[in-house]
């Protein structure tokens, strides 16, 4: 058991430069979110905001929560969750669009 934990933990170590680059990307995307909020794009305001938010969430999950280094079943459960979320948000937009 001890050998298993030490082998798995060695794969989770990220360098400070990589974490700083991800943090810089998140801060940049936050700035983009604020900048885009001042631009009137009509129908595309919400989808663009959701796309930026999903990109930021993916960065956090992959690097800060180490999803990038997990096993396949965890990755598949994440992808399944994203598919369900996209479906529910899509149905919400569809319902609002045809009222």
11-58 per-position pLDDT tens digit: 567 889 999 999 999 999 999 999 999 999 998 898 899 899 989 998
Other CB atoms within 10 A of residue 70 CB = 17
pLDDT above 70 coverage of the chain, percent = 88
Nearest C-alpha neighbor of 88 from the set 45, 50, 40: 50
DSSP string, 58-85: HHIIIIIS-GGGS-HHHHHHHHHHHHHH
The answer to whether 92 and 86 have CB atoms below 8 angstroms apart is: no
pLDDT at residue 83 tops 60: yes
What residue numbers bound the domain in which 8 lies?
2-97
Higher pLDDT, 37 or 70: 37
At residue 4, the pLDDT reads 53
């Amino acid at each position: 058991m001890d050998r298993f934990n030490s082998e798995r933990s060695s794969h989770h170590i990220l360098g400070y430069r990589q974490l700083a680059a991800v943090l810089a990307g998140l801060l940049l995307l936050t700035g983009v979110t604020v900048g885009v909020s001042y631009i009137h794009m009509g129908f595309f305001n919400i989808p663009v905001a959701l796309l930026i938010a999903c990109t930021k969430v993916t960065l956090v999950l992959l690097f800060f929560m180490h999803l990038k280094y997990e096993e396949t079943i965890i990755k598949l459960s994440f992808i399944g969750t994203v598919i369900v979320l996209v479906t529910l948000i899509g149905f919400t937009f569809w319902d609002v669009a045809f009222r």
